[in-house]
């Protein structure tokens, strides 16, 4: 019985599937068939195995799972009949892949079939091996394949050649065994064998330098001769394609010559004549001829210099580029891209044509042309090309704008010599396609603007004008909002007019209008709105006359559902309302951003500096809130009014504002800290008890931890990002805890071998860790945590949790109580036993040891990573959540503990909600 023609049921199944009107119907049919096949597999049904497999292949093609048929393939392959084997192998190639362990089972069958007396069966096995073999199979079966390269039948030799490619790619060590047999294949007359032999040689050259040398020496002439033969061969009907004998073979030969000639003058010399002949004699009115010319040009470009040939090649390219067939134009662009390294001058000549191609209606051609043009830009043509590209941006299709914008921005950044030109071009791009601009591009623009002090007035006025007409372009709006906030008075007073400018009259309320519109625009996202609030705060000081109006706008966000906006609105409102005296110093203009640092950061930590939209939102408020932190202490009347001026944190604030990842800022903390006078709560706490020089390694730990926290506790706190608040609300916890109590941990480090550590202490809460080790068991450490509540309110529902890295074991005893009485009337203690399974094996980080000043293996230290407050709405009551994150250095691991406690302010009733988020670094 023939398995292929008698499969009426296969036909029925295909018909049934074709008759399906909906995807659901199709799924039902497939499900039914799959079930039937599975049943047949279970019954070990011999007669229908091949038919079932054929069905499975069809089902597989439709995209349904077919793994249950894999074993069937193996059974079919092991059977003796050719048709069964044939479909078995086909199934093997379609349904299996080299990653599946089942494949190992087939090695034996393959070996038998490679030695089979029937050459067709040998061919089948080679084909399967060539398509799916794994490294192990390659090792096992390489000798067979090597032998088959000399098989009497050419159809087997050609398959063995391709199979060898797979083998040497999987196991490059085996390459040397194949060099000699491969060289022998190059002398063959059979097209298939020659074609595959060339491919094998090409791949051998890629893997082994010696092979390349060998072929160069022994085979260059024979390959040249083979090309001559095929070029000059008489009409051969079997291989003829539109008057050319076997263009595929032409192409393979040219490609191999390219490899031989590349970097070798003698070999290049040897092939000059035949390349010239191909380049001049090949018919270029048919696709097949053009395919050969295309390959020939590439070979000429790759081999060692021969000016005559190069001229020929460039001429062919010119002809291609002006061809009316889009396919030919496409490959011409592709070709020019490779030719540019060889002969940039020749490519530059076609610049105008290429520019036309950028404007083509065909997306593929546009994309190629744009990439090529990007490579063509240099100092001398950058201005004209940028102008053209920006003009085209206005009319280009939406889906092309993204690519085009990215390229223009990149060109402008790379080649800008004058700031004013850079700013002008960027503003044009932002006005045209601001929504396609990546965040780091407009961040860079702000850095440049900040540095161009003589252009501040010009820029802010240009932005004001631009935003009137292109208010829907988000990133333009952001830059404009930032600049108006910073340089608003220059806009109104027309300070620093340049000659080229047309004077405009802008009133203070016009400037505020722009921000208000941006704030309320429906497309504005959180970042933009947050920037608007900052700008308004700044303007309230710059434009005292508008102060009242600004306050009203700010207050409108008091009820915003977005926590970030709500908080800003409330805080800024306080500043405007009650703190006239410090406001002007609070909202001073930003210090100039360091361009070198910023560009270094962009280049150095690329993944980190391409912030996701979320990332930008996180970092921005983070930085922004810091300077305001100190006055807030004041505002909430919970601390004395000696808040220091925040200006010292200006520089990292700016980096953060610009969406630069937090890491650079905090890794700098070591240096910055020296100048800081305890203003910045976060940084201050970070560096407690640590010498400045070492704090960088320290804070990078924290950083990776807080990254984790960001994701893990976000939902828990119903806040978009807890990290924002961790630093944003730096002081409210301080107010709760009454002031900037420095952490006393530093005083403890020189104590006994296992010093007890005050992890956190403030006016309201003290957390202390005591360490002890049971004698004779150095692996285990007991940590006793003692919590004392010094505030006048009772904390209830106290929960403390901790987590450890995998090599540690943690046993957490129950806490002595879950209520923490007020006014230090008692405390809760809780024991943790930590067992280090790799005690003595896991090497400790030396820097952390010296950091603590202990030399024992269980050096420990602690500190407060961050403290903060979150406020959120729940049942209409504003609830403040205070939290603190600690870290504990333990035998080379860092444990991080985050405690969150809630209290309901409005009712005065205590709501303590303690959540502990832990995570570990290292």
Partner 1 sequence: MGIRFILMVNKQGQTRLAQYYEYLTLEERRALEGEIVRKCLARNEQQCSFVEHRNYKIVYRRYASLFFLVGVDNEENELAILEFIHLLVETMDRHFGNVCELDIMFHLEKAHFMLEEMVMNGCIIETSKANILAPIQLMDKAS
| Nearest to partner 1 of 18, 841 (CB atom) | 18
- Pick from 56, 224, 230, 251 the residue near partner 1 by CB under 8 A: 251
User: Does residue 93 belong to the site contacting partner 1 (CB under 8 A)?
Assistant: yes
The residue range among 161-169, 389-397, 576-584, 771-779 that interacts with partner 1, by the rule CB under 8 A, is 161-169
> What is the 8-class DSSP label of residue 129?
H
> How far is residue 679's CA from residue 261's CA, in Å, rounded to a whole number?
67
- The nearest distance, CB 322 to partner 1, in angstroms, is 15
Nearer residue to partner 1 within complex by CB, 199 or 573: 199
Contact with partner 1 (CB under 8 A) among 68, 83, 353, 849: 83
CA distances from 465 to 343, 410, 427, 453 (A): 44, 24, 10, 20
Q: Is 5 in the site for partner 1 (CB under 8 A)?
A: yes
Residue in 191, 549, 551, 710 binding partner 1, rule: CB under 8 A: 191
Annotate 143-168 with b (16+ C-beta within 10 A) or e (fewer).
ebbbebbebeebbbbbbbbbbbbbbb
Closer to partner 1 at the Cβ: 120 or 807?
120
Q: Based on the shown chain and the rule CB under 8 A, indicate whether residue 291 belongs to the binding site for partner 1.
A: yes
Listed residue (667, 665, 671, 661) closest to 653, CA to CA: 665
Beta strands in 337-474, from DSSP E residues, in sequence order: none
Which position among 362, 394, 418, 813 is part of the footprint of partner 1 (CB under 8 A)?
362
Beta carbon nearer to partner 1, 49 or 710: 49
Residue 253 CA to residue 913 CA, distance in Å, equals: 76
Annotate 778-817 with b (16+ C-beta within 10 A) or e (fewer): ebbbbbbbbbbbbbebbbbebebbbebbebbebebeebee
Q: Which residues is 836 bridged to in the sheet?
A: 808
Closest approach, Cβ 111 to partner 1, in A, equals: 19
Which listed residue (99, 152, 189, 522) binds partner 1 by CB under 8 A? 99
Q: Is residue 58 within the footprint of partner 1 (CB under 8 A)?
A: yes
Contact residues for 553 (Cβ-Cβ < 8 A; gap 6+): 512, 515, 516, 519, 536
Q: What 8-state DSSP symbol labels residue 498?
A: -
Q: CB of 205 within 8 A of CB of 258? A: no
Place of tokens 């460039």: 314
CA angle in degrees (0–180, nearest 5) for 333-339-342: 165
Of these, 37, 40, 73, 90, which contacts partner 1 (CB under 8 A)? 90
Nearer Cβ to partner 1 (11/32): 11
Residue 142 CB coordination number (10 Å) = 21
Among 40, 70, 122, 123, binds partner 1 (CB under 8 A): 123
The site that binds partner 1 (CB under 8 A) totals a number of residues, namely: 68
Asked whether position 361 contacts partner 1 by CB under 8 A, the answer is: yes
| Residue closer to partner 1, measured from CB, 169 or 773 | 169
By CB under 8 A, residue 85 contacts partner 1? no
Question: What are the structure tokens assigned to 607, written together?
Answer: 């993944």
Distance from C-alpha of 760 to C-alpha of 864, rounded to nearest angstrom: 6
The C-alpha torsion from 102 through 104 and 110 to 115, rounded to 10°, is -160
C-beta of 743: minimal distance to partner 1 in Å?
A: 51
Paired with 901 in beta bridges are: 882
Give Cα 679 distance to the centre of its chain: 35
Q: Which distant-in-sequence residues (6+ apart) come within 8 Å of 1 by Cβ?
A: 47
Of these, 163, 182, 448, 702, which contacts partner 1 (CB under 8 A)?
163
Using CB under 8 A as the binding rule, whether residue 239 contacts partner 1 is answered as: yes
Total H helices, total E strands in the chain: 43, 11
Under the binding rule (CB under 8 A), the answer on residue 199 touching partner 1 is yes
Return the number of the residue (97 or 552) whose C-beta is nearest partner 1: 97
Smallest gap from Cβ 1 to partner 1, in A, equals 8
Pick the piece of the chain touching partner 1 (CB under 8 A) from 284-292, 737-745, 760-768, 809-817. Answer: 284-292
Q: How far is the CB of 291 from partner 1 (least distance, A)?
A: 3
The residue within the footprint of partner 1, chosen from 209, 238, 499, 502 (CB under 8 A), is: 238
b (16+ CB within 10 A) / e for 285-299:
eeebbbbbbbbbbbb
Q: Which is nearer to partner 1, 2 or 44 (CB)?
A: 2
Backbone φ and ψ for 780, nearest 5 degrees, come out as -105, 140
> With left for phi above 0 and alpha for psi between -120 and 50, is residue 438 left, alpha or beta?
beta
Task: Give the x/- contact pattern for partner 1 in 313-332, rule: CB under 8 A.
Answer: -------------xxxxxx-
**Which residues contact partner 1 (rule: CB under 8 A)?**
2, 4-5, 11, 14, 18, 54, 57-58, 61-65, 82-83, 86-87, 90, 93-94, 97-99, 120, 123, 127, 130-131, 155, 158-159, 162-163, 165-166, 191-192, 195-196, 199, 238-239, 241, 246-249, 251, 287-288, 290-291, 294-295, 326-331, 334, 361-365, 367
């Amino acid at each position: 019985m023939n398995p292929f023609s008698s499969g009426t049921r296969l036909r029925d199944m295909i018909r049934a599937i074709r008759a399906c009107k909906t995807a659901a119907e199709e799924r039902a049919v497939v499900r039914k068939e799959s079930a039937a096949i599975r049943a047949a597999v279970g019954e070990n049904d011999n007669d229908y195995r091949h038919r079932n497999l054929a069905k499975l292949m069809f089902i597989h093609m439709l995209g349904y799972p077919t793994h249950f048929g894999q074993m069937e393939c193996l059974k079919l392959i092991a059977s003796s009949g050719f048709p069964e084997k044939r479909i078995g192998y086909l199934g093997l190639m379609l349904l299996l892949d080299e990653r599946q362990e089942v494949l190992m089972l087939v090695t034996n069958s393959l070996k038998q079939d490679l030695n089979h007396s029937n050459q067709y069966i040998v061919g089948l096995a080679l084909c399967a091996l060539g398509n799916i073999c794994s490294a192990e199979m390659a090792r096992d079966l390489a000798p067979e394949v090597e032998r088959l390269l000399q098989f009497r039948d050419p159809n087997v030799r050609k398959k063995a050649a391709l199979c060898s490619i797979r083998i040497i790619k999987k196991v490059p060590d085996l390459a040397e065994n194949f060099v000699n047999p491969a060289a022998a294949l190059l002398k063959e007359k059979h097209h298939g064998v020659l074609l595959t032999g060339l491919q094998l040689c090409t791949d051998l050259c890629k893997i082994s330098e010696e092979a390349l040398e060998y072929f160069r020496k022994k085979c260059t002439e024979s390959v040249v001769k083979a090309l001559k033969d095929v070029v000059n061969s008489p009409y051969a009907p079997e291989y003829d394609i539109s008057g050319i004998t076997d263009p595929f073979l032409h192409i393979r030969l040219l490609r191999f010559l390219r490899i031989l000639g590349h970097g070798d003058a003698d070999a290049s010399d040897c092939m000059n004549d035949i390349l010239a002949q191909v380049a001049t004699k090949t018919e270029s009115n048919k696709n097949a001829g053009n395919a050969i010319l295309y390959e020939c040009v590439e070979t000429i470009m790759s081999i060692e210099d021969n000016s005559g040939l190069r001229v020929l090649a460039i001429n062919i390219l010119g002809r291609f580029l002006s061809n009316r067939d889009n396919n030919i134009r496409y490959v011409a662009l592709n070709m020019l891209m490779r030719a540019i390294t060889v002969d940039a001058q020749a490519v530059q000549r076609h610049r105008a044509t290429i520019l036309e191609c950028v404007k083509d209606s065909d997306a593929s051609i546009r994309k190629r042309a744009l990439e090529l043009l990007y490579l063509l830009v240099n100092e001398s043509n950058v201005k004209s090309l940028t102008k053209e590209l920006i003009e085209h941006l206005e009319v280009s299709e939406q889906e092309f704008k993204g690519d085009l914008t990215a390229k223009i921005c990149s060109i402008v950044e790379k080649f800008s010599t004058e700031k004013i030109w850079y700013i002008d071009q960027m503003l044009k791009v932002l006005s045209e396609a601001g929504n396609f601009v990546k965040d780091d591009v407009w961040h860079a623009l702000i850095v440049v603007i900040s540095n161009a002090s003589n252009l501040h007035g010009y820029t802010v006025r240009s932005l004001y004008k631009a935003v009137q007409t292109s208010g829907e372009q988000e990133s333009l709006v952001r830059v404009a909002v930032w600049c108006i906030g910073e340089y608003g008075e220059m806009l109104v007073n027309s300070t620093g007019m340049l000659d080229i400018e047309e004077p405009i009259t802008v009133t203070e309320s016009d400037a505020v209008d722009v921000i208000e519109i941006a704030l309320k625009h429906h497309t504005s996202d959180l970042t933009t709105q947050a920037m608007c609030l900052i700008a308004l705060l700044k303007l309230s000081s710059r434009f005292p006359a508008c102060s009242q109006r600004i306050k009203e706008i700010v207050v409108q966000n008091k009820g915003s559902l977005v926590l970030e906006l709500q908080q800003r609105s409330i805080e800024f409102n306080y500043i405007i309302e009650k703190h006239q005296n410090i406001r002007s110093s609070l909202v001073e203009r930003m210090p100039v951003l360091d361009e070198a640092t910023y560009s270094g950061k962009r280049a150095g930590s690329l993944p980190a500096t391409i912030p996701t939209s979320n990332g930008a939102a996180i970092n921005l408020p983070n930085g922004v809130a810091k300077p305001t932190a100190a006055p807030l202490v004041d505002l909430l009347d919970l601390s004395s009014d000696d808040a220091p001026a925040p200006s010292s944190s200006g520089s990292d604030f700016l980096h953060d504002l610009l969406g630069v990842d937090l890491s650079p800022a905090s890794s700098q903390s070591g240096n910055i800290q020296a100048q800081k006078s305890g203003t910045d709560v976060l940084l201050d706490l970070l560096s407690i008890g640590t010498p400045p020089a070492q704090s960088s390694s320290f804070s990078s730990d924290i950083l990776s931890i807080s990254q984790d926290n960001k994701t893990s506790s976000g939902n828990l706190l119903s806040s978009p990002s807890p990290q924002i608040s961790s630093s944003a609300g730096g002081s409210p916890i301080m107010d709760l805890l009454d002031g900037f109590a420095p952490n006393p941990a530093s005083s403890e480090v020189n104590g006994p071998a296992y010093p007890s550590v005050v992890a956190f202490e403030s006016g309201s809460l003290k957390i202390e860790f005591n360490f002890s080790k049971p004698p004779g068991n150095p692996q285990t450490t007991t940590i006793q945590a003692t919590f004392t509540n010094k505030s006048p309110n009772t904390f209830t529902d106290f929960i403390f949790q901790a987590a450890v890295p995998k090599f540690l074991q943690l046993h957490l005893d129950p806490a002595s109580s879950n209520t923490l009485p007020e006014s230090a009337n008692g405390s809760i203690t809780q024991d943790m036993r930590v067992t280090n399974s790799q005690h003595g094996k896991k090497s400790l980080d030396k820097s952390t040891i010296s950091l603590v000043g202990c030399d024992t293996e269980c050096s420990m230290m602690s500190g407060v990573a961050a403290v903060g407050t979150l406020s959120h709405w729940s049942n209409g009551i504003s609830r403040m959540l205070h939290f603190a994150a600690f870290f504990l250095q333990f035998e080379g691991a860092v444990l991080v503990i985050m405690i969150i406690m809630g209290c309901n302010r409005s009712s005065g009733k205590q709501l303590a909600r303690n959540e502990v988020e832990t995570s570990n670094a290292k």
